Amino acid sequence: MNTPKIKDIAQKNVIKISEHESIGCAVDLMYKENHRNIIVISDNAHHRFGLLTASDLIRLRVAKIDFSLPIKSIKYDKIFSISEEAKLEDILEEVSHEIECLCVTDAQDNLTGVVFYADIISSIDPRMLLEKRAIGEIILNQHLKQAQQSESTLEVIGLMDHLLNDCVMIYDVDKPVGIITTKDVIRLFGEGCDLTQPIANYMSRPIQTVSFDTSIKQALDFIQLKKFKRLIVVDRDGIIVGQITQGELITRVYSRWSEMVRSHDTQLREMNKALKIRATRFEALAVTDHLTGIYNRAKFELELQREIDRVKRYGSETFSVLFFDVDHFKKINDNHGHAIGDLVLQKICQTVSQHMRLTDILARWGGEEFVAILPSTSLESAQTVAEKLRSTINGLQFEGMDRISCSFGVGQFNKLSDSFHSVILRVDQAMYRAKDNGRNRVELAE
């Protein structure tokens, strides 16, 4: 059987927008096309494409960011591109449910489509893997955000302002009566709904669920048919027992169960038992980057908000933020392979961790981009830290490779003028100035 090319599985109905257009224009397009995400076209020579998501919009709305501002004034995720002529095995190493998607380009480097992790998995046909395994065996997330139907819409969607919580179950006292998801939020924004109204006016109802004994194959088909991002799972009595997102489902299926399916059913039952006993470990995994072992972006966002709240509430000494990105990382992957690329990221994180305080927060923002929070640290001190980290990373040696370097952006949170988003954007822009000014250097945020 011939391996399909990327153009055979890519989604062609891409919605895109220039970074010079307003956030509100992006909302209008997403609402019109019924999409949760939109591709952002940038003038940045290092990263031409980005992804603006419903979760980003929620965070901006909660932070009272003016939607008339241009998209380039906020921080959004950068995504890579791949040739439409590339084969499926080429992309399997590039994309994961963390990266989520890649832009697809033609020979002239024009955007022709986008390929999501789910598209790749669907093309492999999961029926051969786990037709008989039940969805209840792999549920990890039993902690659903909840709200009462009388609460205001803005309060409820505010519960979804970071990556760990992107849906809320709506209750009438103790009975679940509806759900609000990121897709619903796009509808609310697109229709200019009054967010002071009770969430009962806008929630999706009835709640569509699957039974815990539904097969994984059926669950994947259900997600694809309904275009859902998650499954709400119930027991035989109709009681909600948890949820599993599309990314969690796919990751669990392909990273764990594909090998275990060859084992005896007893082994699977024992593993399930062990997973339940070690529930706290999975809670830790939810905030940990699986490749590097440091915190993930969701955890960083939580910690950044806590640090901002601490500084504003107690008037204590402010903090600084570092962004750094591995220079020419795609060349490392292309020339030495993704296994070596992963090793480089792991070594950098180990090295940086050893040079940071216990109170500092180091996290992977995405791809080869990292971020750190330095509590009670002035801009000058943070610059010194960044220079030391830059020099130390540049001194690392990898067999058969040139020296590795990173570009750093450094900024201090301003209590009077900064917000969650503005400090991120300022430091991110400083990092890209470091790249534009020759890489392997530190730039201070304006």
User: What amino acid positions are annotated as catalytic residues?
Assistant: 368
Residue 161 burial class via C-beta count within 10 angstroms: exposed 0-12, middle 13-18, buried 19 and up: buried
Spatial distance between the Cα atoms of 357 and 283, rounded to a whole number of angstroms:
24
| Maximum CA extent, the chain | 65
* Nearest residue to 241 via CA among 134, 155, 154, 148: 134
Cβ atoms < 10 Å from Cβ of 328 = 15
Spatial distance between the Cα atoms of 12 and 428, rounded to a whole number of angstroms:
31
Gyration radius of the chain's alpha carbons: 22
Q: Are 352 and 393 in contact (CB under 8 A)?
A: yes
Spatial distance between the Cα atoms of 112 and 96, rounded to a whole number of angstroms:
21
Phi, psi of 7 (to 5 degrees): -65, -20
Spatial distance between the Cα atoms of 247 and 253, rounded to a whole number of angstroms:
10
Q: The sheet that has 240-245: what strands, in order across it?
A: 209-211, 230-234, 240-245
State whether residue 200 is helix, strand or coil: helix
Spatial distance between the Cα atoms of 49 and 45, rounded to a whole number of angstroms:
10
- Pairing mode, if any, of strands 145-148 and 406-412? unpaired
Residues with Cβ < 8 Å from 64, sequence gap 6 or more?
none
Spatial distance between the Cα atoms of 314 and 206, rounded to a whole number of angstroms:
44
